[in-house]
Amino acid sequence: MDWSEIDLEARTWTLPAERAKNDEAHIIPLTDMAVAELAALHPQERGFVFSTTGTTPVSGYSKAKRLLDERMLKVMQRRKKDRGGDPQSIKLDDWRLHDLRRTGATNLQALGIPIEVTEAVLNHISGTRAGIAGIYNRYKYEPEKRAALEAWDHRLGELFNEV
């Protein structure tokens, strides 16, 4: 993600076609939570948004993932203990960072978001946006994507307050 792709006023991130897996530019609406996090990073004119050196993209994902796993396990164990259970009975299932897309998609569906909007949020050209439907339906679902992500932002806020 490059700062030049982000428009905090319009509350959008435009993923360029050359970096999108389907070779189409993708406009991602930014929610209140996303804008607040980006604003806290001191926006620049250009350059990597997430960088440990300021000049190269983030690396060391395995170390960060291990730390995240440790923190998640502690939260889950604390919750189990607070409910009167054995915190040592908690085991963290194996997962990958890419699973967060599945989590997002699953939760959009749980919030009642139509599948074609979820696919648009994920920038998928499959299912309801592929084949004959994709040939005739060129609509990009921009307002619906924003509403879906705002609903997810609200739900995430509720979940964070439970921690």
Q: What percent of the chain has pLDDT over 70?
A: 93
In tens, the pLDDT along 85-103 reads 999 999 999 999 999 999 9
Alpha-carbon distance values, 135 to 108, 125, 128, 132 (Å): 25, 11, 11, 5
Contact 29, 11 (CB under 8 A): yes
Alpha-carbon distance values, 106 to 70, 99, 133, 156, 163 (Å): 24, 10, 23, 13, 21
Q: Average pLDDT of 10-34?
A: 94
At what angle are helices 99-110 and 115-122 packed, to 10 degrees? 150
Alpha-carbon distance values, 140 to 86, 121, 134 (Å): 48, 9, 11
| CA dist., res. 95 & res. 76, Å (int) | 15
At what angle are helices 99-110 and 142-162 packed, to 10 degrees? 100
In tens, the pLDDT along 127-145 reads 666 666 666 777 889 999 9
In tens, the pLDDT along 105-123 reads 999 999 999 999 999 999 9
| CA dist., res. 48 & res. 58, Å (int) | 9
β-bridge partners, 7: 12
Q: What is the pLDDT of residue 137?
A: 75
